[in-house]
Structure 1
Amino acid sequence: MNDICLITGDHPRHLYFAKSLAESGRIACWVIETREHFVPAPPANIDPHLRDLFDEHFAKRENTEMKFFGNTRISDVGIPYMQVTKESLNARQTAEFIAKHQSKLVISYGCHKLQPNFMAAVSATFWNTHGGLSPQYRGVATHFWPSYFLEPQMTGMTLHETTSQLDGGGILFQTAAPLVRGDTLHALAARNVEYYAMQLSEKLNALDVCNLPSPIKQKTYGKVFMAKDWRPEHLRLIYDVYGDSIVDLVLDSELRGREPELLSAFDE
């Protein structure tokens, strides 16, 4: 039965995610938000070496996501879709498109914040995919910060109920992909998206949308990273100090840290 709607961004990882979940046969429709340019321009007035690191970092992200996710096109996904902007994401027309397809569950990933009046108009359950392990890593750039804090094993994905609190809703499902020798920061991030999409697709195959699992309340507030927290200077540690080999250092036990404690309401 097609009874789930997706709302995603339009970056490579988002299109791959949508295609993977569509293969479950459960996706009724898809809302796609046009996001910012995938490869940003460096800030003005930074020193030449830092500018080079910035360009290298985002070029590597683009190349890695093409390697993992390919050149997935919207038409490849094969489900009814509607394209929106940040401004029209919460519009009445968007709610009407979802309602027309009789979706009982909406799963979002990579879009801007969904407003309460929009969700009320759709009359469905809303879950959000967050690229980070909540509550330890919430907010923005949460596949960057675990490696920056020298614990790449804490890179992961969280499915949680959509609430007004940023990435703070009750947890439905979490994954953390195994570390693979040779993985860079971007490869680790992409591998986690790939692993999560595969695991979630399997969960959806057996999901009864009329008897959804009860979310697990987050017991601690954790850390919420904001866009202003990240600066190009952070790249020096990743590339100049550790040569983008932090995963290997953990596998060689030269770096140690926390291990993820993954939650799943599906197994309760």
Structure 2
Amino acid sequence: MKITVFTSNQPRHVTLIKRLADIADEVYAVQECHSAFPGKEKGFYKKSDTMQEYFSHVLNAEEEVFGGLSFTPENVRTLALKAGELSLVDLTSLNEALQSDYFIVFGASYIKGALCDWLVSRGAINIHMGISPYYRGNSCNFWAIHDGRPDLVGATIHRLGKGLDSGEMLFHALPPVGVTDPFKLGMEAVNSAQKSLVHTIDTGKIHQFHPVKQDSTLEMRYTRNQDFTDQVARSYLDNLPSKKDILDSVKNRDTTLFTKPIIM
């Protein structure tokens, strides 16, 4: 089995590559690279004391769940790109990677043009970190907690569509009950998404899910990168939810809000 994954270069992204390599004969990993030290170096987010403080919590939670920076296994072939360049690559350059059995997108830039058309035609699967259709766009799990909705922290596993995070849903992946740190809760949502997707591919159960169209009228918030400002981050850090609030919210999740939810 061959799997192609379009992803990034943080430990959580490399962990997905490793997990796919465990079940595949060969993995093609196309990585769009960001700073490994967000907040300290200017990149996807601006460099500032507030961003450095915020992302120190993110990086600590990521390391706790996924470990640090690491190399990929021997059965992985990699192509590194600058963040945002994926849709600029000529399809002939990706030819080998476009003949796989499965195509996964996780943490890549918005895919457009001929590559998007090809991936949609091949039934590519996207991991959206956020519970669609309620939260769409960037940093969705941050905004769910910001809005007092830790119960809506999770991931949507859906077919890649031509709109942003708008494809038909296969299932939702949720973090386990008991995680009470807001930063770790987001990382455990990533962990659950990866493990559940890899498991369903490995067992063939991924083909048993009937895609569900998203109801856009249920959207609660659509966010862009520029919405996550220093002021928003500062307010969030100064008003973090209590462990009890997070625990109670997650424990009392309304399962009817989710599509075939999986907790791993």
Asked if TM exceeds 0.5, the reply is: yes
Identity of aligned residues (%): 23
How far 1:136 sits from its partner (Å)?
0.6
SS in 2 for 1:263: coil
Match of 1:23 in 2: 22
Contact 2:10 2:69 in 1 (8 A): no
Gap change, CA 1:53 and 1:157, over 3 Å in 2: same
- Is the contact between residue 171 and residue 264 of structure 1 (CA under 8 Å) also seen in structure 2? no
Contact in 2 for aligned 1:26/1:204 (Cα 8 Å): no
Report SS of the residue matched to 1:60.
Answer: helix
CA distance in 1 between partners of 2:5 and 2:246 (Å): 35
Q: Distance in 2 between matches of 1:77 and 1:66?
A: 23
Give 1:153 shift.
1.6
Q: Find the counterpart in structure 1 of residue 45 from structure 2.
A: none
Match of 2:137 in 1: 139
Distance in 2 (alpha carbons) for counterparts of 1:66 and 1:76: 19
CA distance in 2, matches of 1:38, 1:216: 37
1:219 to 212, 215, 221: 215
CA distance in 2, matches of 1:42, 1:96: 34
**Which structure is higher in helix share?**
2
Q: CA RMSD in A?
A: 3.0
Contact kept, 8 Å, 1:106 with 1:125, in 2: the verdict is: yes
Whichever residue aligns with residue 3 of structure 2, its letter is I
Q: CA deviation at 1:245?
A: 4.0
Q: State the alpha-carbon separation in 2 of the partners of residues 236 and 89 from structure 1.
A: 32
For 1:1-268, what aligned pairs fall within 5 Å after superposition? 2-25=1-24, 28-41=27-40, 52-76=49-73, 78-86=75-83, 88-90=85-87, 91-92=89-90, 93-99=92-98, 102-121=99-118, 124-181=122-179, 183-207=180-204, 213-221=209-217, 222=219, 223-241=221-239, 244-251=240-247, 259=254, 261-264=257-260
Contact 2:3–2:24 at 8 Å: present in 1 too?
Answer: no
SS of equivalent to 2:16? helix
Distance in 2, matches of 1:77 and 1:132, equals 32
Take 2:190 and 2:202, find their aligned partners in 1: how far apart are those partners? 18
Task: Report if aligned partners of 1:88, 1:94 keep a CA contact under 8 Å in 2.
Answer: no
TM-score by length of 2: 0.82
Shift of 1:163: 1.5
Paired with 1:11 and 1:30, the residues of 2 have a C-alpha distance of: 13
Question: Shift in Å at residue 250 of structure 1?
Answer: 3.8
How many residues align? The count is 251
Structure 2 runs not aligned, ≥5 long: 43-47
Distance 2:205 2:114 in 1: 26
Corresponding position of 1:46: none
Aligned to 1:47: none
Amino acid at match of 1:19: K
Determine if contact 1:16/1:72 at 8 Å carries over to the other structure: no
Report the AA paired with residue 14 of structure 2.
L
Deviations 1:186-211 (A, max 9, x none): 111111111221111110112288x6
Between stretches 73-82 and 108-117, larger displacement belongs to 73-82
What one-letter code is carried by the residue in structure 1 that aligns with 2:126?
Answer: N
Please tell me whether the aligned partners of residues 29 and 79 of structure 2 are also in contact (alpha carbons under 8 angstroms).
Answer: yes
User: 2:7–2:108: 8 Å Cα contact kept in structure 1?
Assistant: yes
Q: Secondary structure at the match of 1:106?
A: strand
2:84/2:109 contact within 8 Å kept: no
Distance, in Å, in 2 between the alignment partners of 1:94 and 1:215 is 31
Question: Deviation of residue 98 (structure 1)?
Answer: 1.0
